Amino acid sequence: MSHASSSAPPKPVKVAILGASGGIGQPLSLLCKLNPQIDELSLYDLVNTPGVAADLSHIPSHAKVFGINAPKNTPPGENKKLQKALQNATLVVILSGVPRKPGMSRDDLFNINAGIVSTLVEGCAMYCPHAFIAIVTNPVNSMVPLASEVLKRHGVYDRRKVAGVTTLDVARASAFLRDAMVTVGDGKNNDSTENVDLMVDVIGGHSGTTILPLFSRAISKEDACLSREVLHDLTVRTQFGGDEIVKAKEGTGSATLSMAWAAYQFIENTLLALAGGDERVIQCAYVESNLTEQAFFSSPCRFGVNGVEEILPLGRLSDYEAAVLEAMGPVLSAQIQKGKLFGRGNVKSRL
């Protein structure tokens, strides 16, 4: 007598991108469409989403893609379109909201985006409670604590499966350091970058002075040729790298292509870990943490089949880095608390 195999077929990998029609969402959707790990790509936004999906569907790659325009003023529990976008999702990327524009305060940004993120996270709690949620919408320092509180209210919070994407900070720090090392080498592309790691760990938060690149770990002692002043300038440039792009785009936009690339790196690594394809996926992420006095903190984490499985020790910091870490504490704590309070309240925004 023949018996069916006891091992179930692998569950299809579905990635839902909320905010897929925007400046970050479209290039991110393109990158995800090319990823052979992804079986289904679900795109959701206010407008133009079916058009983005139709455009991507002409690419002969593995992932099936569909796009859904969100209804307005519909509670998550009644939003069948949101349900379709999220149901059975493996990983959800939240991009929805507005970018910070010239003259806009962080409070203005928070007040607009908090309601949007709360509503989408409520949808995740209802329709894909076991999915990994990657949050890109700013201010990330507040949005991740906010999302955690919303999930707690629905009884589905798993701290291993909620993270803020801080990969762009890592990318900027790495690019800026490499450029500086080449400059030290008289502008010649020679051995001046041999002792620079491909990626610089960045800890703390994801805005301004809460961003702390650990340049001391990326430069070998034999090649510590950058002065304290240069390292300080590199730190500040990393902290406010987004302002460079806004200025270069003359106020018409912010970081979109680099952010899409960074978000994709995070998604690709996370999917690989969730599938059990690599037991040593380590990347920086803004997560619930006990490394410092701040309840949420970005640092290198080991990802696995359950999401964030280990938060790695901080290790030794330089005196300069230790001072920046101490100074950021009150700022980051206040931003965390702001998100928590909103997440515990009644959500009135609808998307």
Select which of 58, 62, 154, 206 is catalytic. 206
Query: Is 95 within 8 Å of 120 (Cβ atoms)?
Result: no
Whole-angstrom CA distances from 297 to 52, 111, 121, 301 are: 34, 22, 20, 11
Looking at the DSSP assignment, which residues form a beta bridge with residue 308? 303
CB contact at 8 A, 138 and 100: yes
Query: Is 154 assigned a catalytic role?
Result: no
* Distance linking the first and last C-alpha atoms of the chain: 55
- 43: which strand partners? 17, 67
C-alpha span between 25 and 42 (Å, rounded): 12
Q: Which of 289, 292, 316, 312 is nearest to 302 (CA)?
A: 312
- Distances, alpha carbon 307 to alpha carbons 41, 132, 135, 282, in Å: 20, 7, 14, 11
d(CA 202, CA 212): 5
DSSP state letters, 314-339: -----HHHHHHHHHHHHHHHHHHHHH
Contacts of 305 (CB under 8 A, 6+ apart): 273, 274, 275, 276
3-state secondary structure (DSSP) of residue 32: helix
3-state secondary structure 150-200: HHHHCCCCCHHHEEECCHHHHHHHHHHHHHHHHHHCCCCCCHHHCCECCCC
**Residue 251, burial from CB neighbour count under 10 angstroms (0-12, 13-18, 19+):** exposed
How many angstroms separate the CA atoms of 112 and 99, rounded? 10
Catalytic residues: 206
